[in-house]
Amino acid sequence: MAKYVIKKSNKLVPSDAMKKIAHVKNKNIYKQAAKNPIKFWEKLATEGLDWEKKWTKAYEQKLPYFKWFKGGKINFSKNCLDRHLENKSDKVAITWVPEPTKEKTIKLTYKELHEKVCKFANVLKKHKIKKGDVVSIYLPMIPEAIIAMLACTRIGAIHSVVFSAFSADALKARIQDGKAKILITADGYYRRGEKEDLLTKARRAVKSTTVNKVIIVPRLRKKIPTGRKFLNFNKELESAEPNCEPTIVNSEDTMFILYTSGTTGKPKGVVHDTGGYATQAYWTAKWNFNLHDDDVMWCTADVGWVTGHTYAFYGPLLNGATTLIYEGSPDFPNPGRWWKIIQDNKVTVFYTAPTAIRMFQKFDPKYIKKHNLKSLRILGSVGEPIDEDAWKWYFKTIGGSRCPIIDTWWQTETGGTLINALPGIGPFVPKVSGQPFPGTNLIIVDEKGKQIKKKNVVGNLVQVPPLAPGMLHGVWKNPKKYKDTYWSRFKKYYDTSDGAFLTNGGLIRITGRTDDVMKVAGHRMTTAELENAITDHQAINETAVVPIPHEVKGEVPVAFVILKHKIKDQEKFEKEIKKLTDDKIGPTARPAKIYIVEALPKTRSGKIMRRILKALLIDEEPKGLSTLLNPKSVDAIKKIIKTKK
Ligand code: PRX
């Protein structure tokens, strides 16, 4: 494929070679879709998916609620598997690369995956799981994760995947909220050459919950407990029937819940339906990454996150492509690991997060040069803004200046991507995501909800109904939260809680969250979640957490704590705090620094001014001190920060 040349404008247009193979290349598609977005999505849903019964109404809305493909009947697993069996049964559906280099890569064809999914669906049925039941999945990046998830969708059960690096407490909270009947987990997995234990956390989490069966994948071949409650995944699979008729569900039936951080301390279960989600997953995967039959797509996201759901698993499988998943750490046993995987498996589409890109930028380039990355055609970025330096490095060093970068903006709530350039249309501009996917409408508004059409003026990014088909339908068992979080500021629009502006070229550039959500190495968490965890320490009275910029991770949390009483050993104290965030959330939530302070800057109404703390941390002059209840606290904190640097 020909090379692109970055001009002064920084604006790249698709190469002729890309245009030739692109599914969409005419920019009129945006205008056409905008004329009647409902009709547009109706056409896509008809062409992209196999339906058991056509819908009676394509879109119905009574904001904040809406339905896509009402009356339509579908089975999701059938769309990912059965329909490919006629022509692609021997095609590789999943390539799994285990972390230990001594272990072999495992490939599962569509036929093999189909059989395993059917078997595991029968296992679930045997354990009395039926349509609408919640199944919790706490698995690392191993094929059993997709087998378990697809098995749920085969019988209409709702999966709730929990990130494997989350703590027992975090898992428990999610199990309890979803009232899951079964937990599917593993004895552990490999990370950086170490055996990570999952089972101990899982066992602790299921205590006194609704879970009555725990099915364990013996990934580490440890001796796993078996009995009435604990079962061996492989043994269960072995004895199961290979045929399982798919349960046909309504398009609007819930397919999965995925917990994510909101403004408060308690994570919320984002609810996704079946038909709408499938439509967006199928078409965004196809068009953004220009998926063709010979593609091998590698999305490096963990299945614990929405990107793992939609682009490591479902998007490529719905399209009948091959998806590659990797169990372990990006730089194990050396920083060449990812590039070797691309070379050995001829990966064509590579989709990762800026935090990983920035990490690799720091390693010796020899680890990349050693490998042949010529199979790559398209590169993707997701999860946080990508800076120009990282963009250019990714483009040149990984993509060899041959691959467009598709900077996809979206959220757990949106189910699939919403803003990005399409490979056959472009343009590809560093830092700029692009325009809303055809048939969707996102605009920038001021605090009153009035559209900002002027270029370079930052406002709030909102989605204008009709909403994209992949959008969340609610917060699990919490309609108030749904309304308050997404529909209270701008009644007529879905509130993304992101800031954005229009570039001179009329494209959308994301500036970041406008609420208390931070992105630490791409992981979404809130200041409140961390504050709650830390304040549990018996010596702490009050905590304020603020994110500060970090060269590799994008952001890291810093904690300010007020003590109840003096502590003797500062080092021990800090360790205890880190253990608390590890236990309550997971190691990604560890504060990078902890400052003990006498008072926190507060407004007269008692609100902690995190903005001021942040300014102090990044050496900026804090503004708005006059409204503070205790302006003197600012100078004191300034001194503490200086002495601890
Ligand atoms: O702030 C935006 C940022 O990630 C948030 C959503 O996080 P999460 O639900 O974990 O989903 C991440 C993967 C879809 C958004 O509100 N974000 C996501 N993609 C981008 C981004 N910020 C800038 N550019 C992006 N491409």
Q: Is the CB of 307 under 6 A from ligand 1?
A: yes
Has residue 492 got a pLDDT over 70? yes
What is the 8-class DSSP label of residue 99? S
Kindly report, residue by residue over 52-106, the tens digit of the pLDDT. 999 999 999 999 999 999 999 999 999 999 999 999 999 999 999 999 999 999 9
Residue 265 has a pLDDT of: 67
To test the ligand 1 pocket, which listed residue (163, 405, 420, 510) has its Cβ within 8 A of the most ligand atoms?
Answer: 510
Task: Say how far apart CA 194 and CA 211 lie, in whole Å.
Answer: 29
Q: Which residue has its alpha carbon closest to ligand 1 atom 10?
A: 524
- Two structure tokens written together for 60: 């119905």
How far apart, in Å, are the Cα atoms of 418 and each of 82, 109, 469? 28, 30, 11
Q: Is 538 exposed, middle or buried (0-12, 13-18, 19+ CB in 10 A)?
A: exposed
Cis ω for the linkage preceding 316 (within 30 of 0): no
In this structure, how many other beta carbons lie within 10 angstroms of the beta carbon of residue 90? 10
What is the average per-residue pLDDT within 100-119? 98
Has residue 450 got a pLDDT over 80? yes
Kindly report, residue by residue over 330-342, the tens digit of the pLDDT. 999 999 999 999 9
In degrees and rounded to multiples of 5, residue 502 shows phi and psi of -90, 130
In angstroms, what is the span from residue 383 Cα to ligand 1's centroid? 4
Q: Which residue has its alpha carbon closest to ligand 1 atom 18?
A: 383
Q: Is the CB of 513 under 6 A from ligand 1?
A: yes
**Does residue 632 sit in helix, strand or coil?**
helix
To test the ligand 1 pocket, which listed residue (263, 302, 384, 437) has its Cβ within 8 A of the most ligand atoms?
Answer: 384
Closest CA to 439 of 30, 26, 23: 30
Residue 603 has a pLDDT of: 86
**pLDDT class for 401, splitting at 50, 70, 90?**
very high
Q: Is the CB of 486 under 6 A from ligand 1?
A: no
Q: Is the CB of 382 under 6 A from ligand 1?
A: yes
What is the average per-residue pLDDT within 404-424? 98
**Does residue 514 sit in helix, strand or coil?**
coil
Closest CA to 160 of 170, 144, 146, 174: 174
Residue 1 has a pLDDT of: 65
In degrees and rounded to multiples of 5, residue 138 shows phi and psi of -130, 80
Residue 339 has a pLDDT of: 98
Q: Is the CB of 463 under 6 A from ligand 1?
A: no
Q: Is the CB of 555 under 6 A from ligand 1?
A: no
Has residue 486 got a pLDDT over 70? yes
To test the ligand 1 pocket, which listed residue (382, 406, 413) has its Cβ within 8 A of the most ligand atoms?
Answer: 382
From the alpha carbon of 417, which atom of ligand 1 is closest? 14
What is the 8-class DSSP label of residue 331? T
Q: Is the CB of 410 under 6 A from ligand 1?
A: yes
To test the ligand 1 pocket, which listed residue (409, 437, 485) has its Cβ within 8 A of the most ligand atoms?
Answer: 409
Residue 221 has a pLDDT of: 87
How far apart, in Å, are the Cα atoms of 71 and each of 54, 59, 155, 577? 7, 10, 19, 51
Q: Is the CB of 407 under 6 A from ligand 1?
A: yes
How far apart, in Å, are the Cα atoms of 255 and each of 59, 155, 246, 264, 486? 18, 10, 14, 25, 21
In angstroms, what is the span from residue 410 Cα to ligand 1's centroid? 5
Q: Which residues contact 607 (CB under 8 A, 6 or more apart)?
A: none
Query: Which bin fits 449, alpha (ψ -120 to 50), beta or left (φ > 0)?
Result: left
E strands, 56-181, are 57-62, 65-70, 73-74, 92-97, 106-109, 134-138, 158-161
Kindly report, residue by residue over 262-312, the tens digit of the pLDDT. 666 678 999 999 999 999 999 999 999 999 989 999 999 999 999 999 999
